[in-house]
Each structure stands twice: as structure tokens, then as C-alpha cells.
Structure 1
Amino acid sequence: MDPGRRRLLVSLALASLGGPLSPLSPARAADAEASPARRLLRVGDGGAPPAAPLRYGAGPLPPVLRARHGEALALTIENRLAGPTSLDLHGIRAAPLLGGAGPLGGTVASGASADVTVMPPDAGTAWFHPWLLDPAADAVAQGLAGLLVVAESAPPDADADLVALLGDLWVPSGSADGLSVDGSALPRRDTLAPGARVRLRLVNGSTRRAHVVAVRGASPTVVALDGQPSSAFRPRNDAVPLVPGGRCDLVLDLPRTPGAEVTLTAGSDPAGATLMVLRTEGEPRPARGPVPALAPNPALPDAIALERATRATLSAGPAGAAPGGWAINGVGGMPLPRAPLFRARRGSPVVLALRNLGPVLLGFRLHGFCFRLLHERDDGWEPYWRDTVLVQPGATHHAAFVADLPGRWLVESPFFDQSAGGLRAWFEVG
């Protein structure tokens, strides 16, 4: 095996076989720096009870893989679960459908292994988990997820680069009704120098719910959404919404007095559950100026020629009388439909009308692409890129992107139960 290849061992909670994985602190996910050495990420042997947490990696926390932009990500998926598994590099624009079976080559049978090599085209914040096959919602809710950070070639100035996975708290009863950060009970606590500038990468790993995360005690600046640089702005009410699978990069300048606390709470109500506490201790860091924006991603277009776009309507709603069944354009995705939703020529602009015909909140996630949300009259777009959007009942959103990556690409709901119920399909770029 190539010594530069990382091994992703999927099972239920075995001790580590070695490798340079080490926790940053007892309250932080295991953080693996980019390295030519092989790294072993394990989960278990299938012998744990159904209510036990699942993990990638040897420790009790979800792992963090850190790579550098321009570096290939080489993984060996070794499945020690009792059933099949798969891998979705959520937010990496380089994982088309292979053979119609799912991203990154489809499923890996119990006891089997598969090699995957991906070249992330962008720097940014991503995560990984099983693709949304029927059992995946329980597996991810039970903790089977990890974090992936692809660093810029010239990272912005910061004293700390933290990443946190918001998710469902799996309890011994086998339910996932509570909230967690990094798979642990709330809150997560970090200690940093007074006045430190912190880049905080938030990832919503919840399977069925969106979050609003509010910051108290510091003024947050948003610098990236769904892994892509945005204009630098202070969010309304110092709170950011996170759709399922969504990512948001914040920059915080901590108070310059020792013993101060910055808190992140669930919801814009100050009485909401405390997710994280950043406490200051030690000597203050030097004061800095305003938070600058990240450099734009040169792989994304400055403008999209809407007037010559391929246009398609994706109407999502209930599928027949079966409860919990969903369809896109009248076709359920169980299994994936044989025909694509649409075809686009490589390099052509695409505009999608994303319609919710159902009675509840629905979502659309595009694999492989990020898009601009268009204004109501298609006369402009929001100043950031997204790969997922939620649509209220009866509403329609328009999304525009350039189809620059060839292949077959998934579109599905970010809510795991909706995707498993058929709200998934695919389109083709060639």
C-alpha cells in the first residue's frame, strides 16, 4: 500500500493500531495533520450493542483529517461493520456517481475494503459520513462521521483554527433526541489566550434538523459558507443558520481580559442550550484590525451567463399514498431512477427551479457543485455560494451554477429520512 494513503477502517470501536492520530485536547475531536505517514481511522468490530456510539477512528471523538490544497486525499475504506457501508465526502466537489451506486464507487461489503483517491479542487471545510442509504441516518446519528479541513495554500492570520461537529446525541436508549458537539454532551469547552483571533469551522452533522447558532460575548464575522469563501460580514443578531450538512466558517476576536467567556448557543434565544464555551486565560495577544475576507476561489466563476443557461425544474413532494415516501418530478429515488433529471453540456450555465410541493420543509443538496441563489427576478444573486438550500412548503428557489465537472451527480434532500424515502435523483454533465 502507498505509504501516503490514509486508511479509513469502518467497524465499531477497536483500539488504535497506531499512526499519528492524537487528540488536541480532551474536549476536541482527534485532529490528524496532513502527513505522508499512513493514518489509521477505526470504528469497531460489530460486537457493540445497537445503542453504542459509532466512530471513525480509535478514540471517543470524531476524527479531523487535515489536508493541504493541491494534495491528493488517498483513503482505504476497510469495512468491519456487520453490513455494507459507503463514503460521502460531503462538500468535496470531486465525487461523482460511479455505476449509479453512490458516491466514491458505491458500497463496500462487510469484511471488504476499497481504495479511493480524490483530489479536492477547493480549500474549505467539509465532512464525511456514509452515503444516505437506508441505514445511514441511524449510523450518522449514532456518531459515524468525521471532519475534513482542506487548508488554503496561504491560510489567513489566526491564533487557532477550530472545527466543531454539531450533531445528535445518541443515548443508551438508542434514541438521538438531544444535541451534541463532537459526539459528546454539551457544552464543549476550549481555553485560548485573551484577544486571540479564532477561526471556528461549524459543521451541522444532524440528520433531521437545521440549527441556528448564536454567538454571545464576541462579534462574529462570517468568512465562508458551505466550504466556499464569502464576503466578510457580521450575521444578523450574531446568529448563523446551519442546514443539515451545512458548514459556516466564523472568525472571532476574543475579549482581551482573562477569565472572559464567549458562548455559542442553539437558537437566537440567549436561554438556548449552550453548545460551546471559549474561555480566555494567559497573556493577551496583540490587537488586530478588521477581519479580512478570504481570497475568492479561482475555480468558481465571477459571473454566470443566465441568458444561455440550461434550465430545469425539480419539483419535490410526496410519492403516492405511502407515508414518508418522496419523489422528484414524480419519480421516487428508491432505488435511484434510471434516467437523469436533466443533461447539461460541460462548461454550460445551469439554472434550477427548486420547488417544494409538499406540506413540510424540504431541502435540495447538489453533489459536486455549489451554486448562487438567485433573486426573485433572476436579476442578481446572493453574495455567497451554497451547496444546499431549504425550501418552505409551496415555495420555489432558483439556483445557478456552471456545469464544469463531467459525470453523473446526485441531487437529494439533506434530511436523511427524506433522502432515504426517495427524495434523491441524479443529473449528468458531459
Structure 2
Amino acid sequence: MELILLFVALFVLLIAGAPVAVALGVSSLLFIMLDGLPNVVVLHNMVNGINSFPLIAVPFFIMAGHLMNSAGITAKIFAFARSAVGWMYGGLGHVNVGASVIFAGMSGAAVADAGGLGNIEIKAMREAGYDTDFSVGITAASSTIGPIIPPSLPLVVYGVIADTSIGQLFAAGLIPGLLMAFSLMVMVAVYAKLRDYPRDERFSMQLFLSTLWSAVLPLFTPIIIVGGILTGIFTPTEAAIAAVAYSLVLGLFVYRTLDRKRILRVSMDTVETTASIMMIVAASSIFAWILTANQVAQMFAESLLIVTDNPTAILLIIMLIVLVVGCFMETLAAITILTPVLLPVAMQIGIDPVHFGIILILNLMIGLLTPPVGLVLYVLAKVSEVPFERCVVATAPFLVPLVTVLLMLMFIPALSMWLPTAIYR
């Protein structure tokens, strides 16, 4: 009975518009009071939930992304991507995807991509005569590459919750992220043919080398982060600190676009974002503990096995549940709630925790592009000054390539497992 009240209270609070952390915390506290447990259990689990060394990487990756945006480095990345792939038909659409792939190796967050690069990309595409709907749709879809290609904030949180190697998760995300980029570029090519989108400009080796030279130092950021982790030079946490230090060197001494005021503003933005994330993780930890202590995962597994014992069918049901939850809940909260329940079931049918982490995060990224939550859509609605409802319609066609990649990853585990197996196992 208490478990039913737990979920009822959670959904009532979410529907009423309460912040996710408040909804999770209040519903969990209600359960603990009704169950007769001491209130100190709440504090104990909140502290334990965020008392994790890998979580230190979160504020540093956030700060690195903010510093890149504030130092004007995103503009250099966009210019380089434009010179590299802008010569293709539908060129700025390809540039949009390419720039997101590069920026993914720096920020690890979809919202940072949409808010940072999105403004530059949509403005350039509008000026070049691209339809607004297409510009918004491809910008939204390409931003979801950020949390898949390392470094990735959601993968860090999943790794902590699932007690799984973050280095292996980062390695597992590289090929799926590139697959997402390729599928979106195929979609751009289809649109370019149907709507007769032009090339941005003919390829110029001189321009390419010029923009490459301008962006070469920022392009070293993902090499430092990913290369350092995969070669064992850094832990993910140390790589995040190195990314911040490198961003500061670029902004202060190389490009000289950062000053005391900008660094202070970036620091305050980082503190605000980190605080909201940690509150969600802390509150989710209580909720997840309740689910684990009451053997919800075991009951869920038994219920699924009553319906079917086919591993493929069970995986499809799990992914459908994740997709529905992703439409209504913030990504990090969904990870901390769903992982303790779904991961044991996935492992029971033979799915590796690293593989499961990648398909879980990609599924939740698709949720960022769907109403009613759709954080990326809200960001782009503000950036592009396009109504939210129109952003939803514009983004819908681009869900097709993303869902296709998700299905490929589900049924071809080697796409995500080959690299971590080759490096770590």
C-alpha cells in the first residue's frame, strides 16, 4: 500500500509542477513516515547518494562547457565544421551535425549544445535561406549526440548508480555517437534533395586550413579528455579538471576573451547547474533506495517473466518504459530511478551493464525531444523565438534516424561493446 502511495504522490507532485527534486524527496519522506522508519534515513541516503568521487566530474564538465561558450570557442568550431562539410548539398545541415559532434567532446550535455551552438547554427541557416522548421529540427536532434559521445554527464551519473566503470561507458559511447551523426547526415541529405537545399560554399583548401588553424587548440579538448581517459592517463574526474584548466588557458592567455567578470558569471552558472543536478541525484537516491529495499526490481522482473520469457520482448518492453518515462521526467532523475529497477532485469536476460547504459541514455535523449518535458525543445524555442508546439512538429521527423540507431544498438551489442572490450577487457 505504501509503495502505491509513493508513486501516486510522486506523479501528483510532478503534475502539479513541483521541481523534480522536491517531488522525489517529498514522496520518499511520505513513504518513510508511513512505514515507520526514522527520518534520519532520508538524510543518510541523500548524503550517500552524492558522496561519490566520480560525481566530482559533474561540475568540472559543466564549467568546461560554459567556459567554451563564454570564450567564443563555439564560433570557431562552427566555422571549422562549415569549411569541412559545408560544400555538401544541404551543407549547413551537415555543419550543424558536425559541430555537435565536436562540441560533444567538450561539454557532454545536450542542453549546453542546444543553448551554445544552437543560437549560431539557427541564425546561420536562416540567413542562408533554410526553412526554420528544418533548422530547429536538425539542431535539436544533433544536440542529443552530446551525452553519448564522451565525456557525458548522464553516463557519469549512470556509472555511479550502476557501479559500472565510467571509462568503459565513455569508450562504449564513441561509436554509437558517430552512428547518430551519420544517420542524421543521411536525413539531411534526403531533405536537401527533396527541398533543393544548396551547398553552403565550394570546398576551399585555403579556407579549411585557415579555420582548422583557428580551431586547432579547441579541437585538442576532446583529444585531451577522451584520449587521456582511454589511455589511462586520467580518471574521468581528473579529465574533467584538465578540461577546465585547458579552457581557462585558451580563454585567458590564447584568445584573451575571458575576463574576471565572465569567469565569475561562468562560475555562478556552474554552481547553479551543479546544485540542481546534485539535488536531483540526492533526492533520487532516497527514492531508489526505497525501490531496492522493497525488492521492486525483483517484482518487476517476475511480472515481466509472467508476460513473456523472450529476452528480445523483455528488452523491447524495458525500452518502451524508458521512452515513456523520458517523455515526462528529467534525464538524471530518470537514470537514478530506473537504473536500480531495470538494470537487474537486463542483466538477468544477459545484457552487459555498459551496453545497457548506452541504450538507456540514448532512449532518454530521445525523450528530451518529446513533450511535455522536452528540455532541448524549450531551450531552442527560446533561442529561435519559435513556439514550443512548432518546435515539437519540426523535430518529429528527426526522431526516425535516432530511433533506428537505438534499435541497431539494442540488437547489435558489438556496436557499443567492441571498443570497451578491446581497451579494458
Question: With structure 1 as the length reference, what TM-score do the two structures score?
Answer: 0.26
Which structure: greater helix fraction? 2
Question: With structure 2 as the length reference, what TM-score do the two structures score?
Answer: 0.26
Structure with higher RCO (Cα < 8 A, 6+ apart): 2
